[in-house]
Structure 1
Amino acid sequence: MSIQQKLKDKLNQREASGSLRKLSVADKNKIDFCSNDYLGLARNKSLHQRIQEAYTNVSDIHNGATGSRLISGNSEYHISLEKKLASLFQSESALLFNSGYAANTAILSAIPQKGDTIIYDEYIHASLKEGARLSFANRFAFHHNDLHDLERKMQKATGDVFVVAESVYSMDGDFAPLLELVTLCEKYGANLIWDEAHSTGVWGREGNGIACMENLHERIFARVYTFGKGPGVHGGCIAGSEVLIQYLINFARPLIYTTALPLHSLVSIEESFRFQQDHMILQDSLHASIQFFRKALSTYPSLEPHFIESQSPIQAVKIGGNQRTRMVAIQLQQSGFDVRPILSPTVKEGEERLRICLHLYNTEQEMEALLEELSIVLQNTPISVEN
């Protein structure tokens, strides 16, 4: 059998199971309840103008970075921005990466060594799992937010131990118990790697995340921040000690062997956080919208059992079954709501769901209308919620 036929057979299997992925373009005529643009900064015209003005005022403009940061791609702007990010995230140092995915892959593939142990929450991002897979360390998952299961695995761990968790989980929208994780890591001498992807910009002073907000940042080995969600731009960084950053510069392959972020991306990151500093009311307004949505949800007793408890912008509705979940999403889209299904294998089979993302620009009327339509669709579409 030819490789082309093997690939086609794999695609046919996906299609038969209802899990075939396809690229799609967001329909601007529908109300956005699917993007990660929580604060509306990706579409904010004032921020766009500030980025354009700042970019124009840079004296040495290049369209591209021209190479890796270890060859020709580094610049004074990179260095200056990293110092500002380290100050923002209250760390000794910070290191830019082309994306949160690259940062997550880098830290877990570079630091844990053969004989060490990585123990990660089963719901962490695919990028972190990829980084763990690329390392030579032993790796084990613990049940989601289950500290007892984590401790059992820590007691059996060998070498240096790395615990991996996220501030806000992307599929359920719930929070990791940071204080308890920090305390447990200190008890066993483990190193916590903390992914702030979905909390960057949404929590903390000037958007510096949950660890800083809870004043636990100094007790964490490494923190990863992503700029393509709340901040509305692109890129990511790792914040931690100077020793950590220097080690990554020397051993993190996703940094060493890729072309650096271009100047426009650097300017966009800097201006996004400046804008957030000047408009902290954006955070307050978003959290008020989340509270409104949860209160409005409580008026639909038939809906509440399907929703996972969440005080974040991510509101997950468990449906179960790829075909059934896709059917509900299509009906909502036909009614003007851009809600996307999350299907297996992205989530476990039986836990397929809709992921509703709330944004600063979603009005109360739009949120109420979505819940009303969802209640009608679910009543007319027999479903089973799998726990």
Structure 2
Amino acid sequence: MNKMLLTILAVVILDAAGTGLVLPILPELLQSVAHTPDLGWRYGAFLSLYAALQFLAAPILGTLSDRYGRRPVLLVSLAGGMVDYAFMAWAPGFWWLFLGRAVAGLTAANASVAAACLTDITPDEKRTRAFGLLSACFGIGFILGPAIGGLLGTFSLRAPFVAAGVLVMMNFILALIALPETRVEKPAHIDAAAFHPLAPLRWLGAFPALLPLLFLSVILNIVGQIGGTVWVLYSQDKFGWDTAAVGLSLACMGLLHALAQAFVAGPLSERWGERRALIVAIVCDSAAYIAIALVTRSFITVLLLPLFCLSAMGGIGQPTLLSLMTQRVGADDQGRLQGVLGSLTSLASIIAPLAVSEIYFASRYDFPGLIWILGALLYVTCVPVLFTLRKKTAGA
């Protein structure tokens, strides 16, 4: 394994660990600087702000990396991350946190630029293995990050953000010293349309046969946002978990998700078919959501983690759905399809946290499990599409 590849993989591990570090402590920090236990719209807006600005900036950063090189864009992105964590470690007021998050969202391109660097230096026949390593490194970072962040949070509210900032600074220094430019041939001109964040959505009309599957993808992403938005809040409110317990639960979930994707999704789809594998994922996710809404003992929640990790979004559902879609699209349209999926995922990441946090804080004291029940009910809208898939499969 060459030095450049090792550097790229190290950048991904450190980036994922830095992101995971702050998750267990983020709600407590926002409550501290907002001076209220009921964050309401603030929590959802904080999560959505990053996704919204990343949605606007990602096409610009990607195009600039094609034109001017990966290295400068990666360095700018890492610098933005340092600014964000510095604000979170220092910010005396709520709006200072928003300002730092805005800078991070506008410059967020670490993972995408790392993937582009990997594409630049890897021959076609070895890319599958290289991207497998990239995914594994992201998983390693996201397993370590929440565990470390949760433990640090028991000592100091700001310590995880300081640690995350140090990791990003190490990332910056590593890229500055050890990562040369990987983009050798650069285009002379840039198409102005490439800067438009909504451009991929214009391609929806090119895939009329895929619209039901794209609808499924949106539902899976919205439901998946529920856990990402309220897991920390819910586990602290209902079960009294401290930041260390929350961090360890997130680390365990990351590990189980990785195992499900590596060892369950593929064999299950091959043995039962993609449609049945997708149904299994939705049923498991629905059961987990209903169960966690009703349980009263924290140890039962721990027992539910494997069920969550066979989920529609994180475990076997999304990879299976992606396989179904790519099989129905020709080789020339695969890139366009990925652009559409990326835009739909980004939009879900913008809208869902706002709605989820509003519902959670409105029902927090009466029935905190309401948001989980609503997530399970949302899967009912998938039934007609799954029935359509069965008819098409039977007629094939």
Greater helix share, structure number: 2
Greater strand share, structure number: 1
Greater RCO (CA < 8 Å, at least 6 residues apart): 2
TM superposition score normalised by structure 1 = 0.29
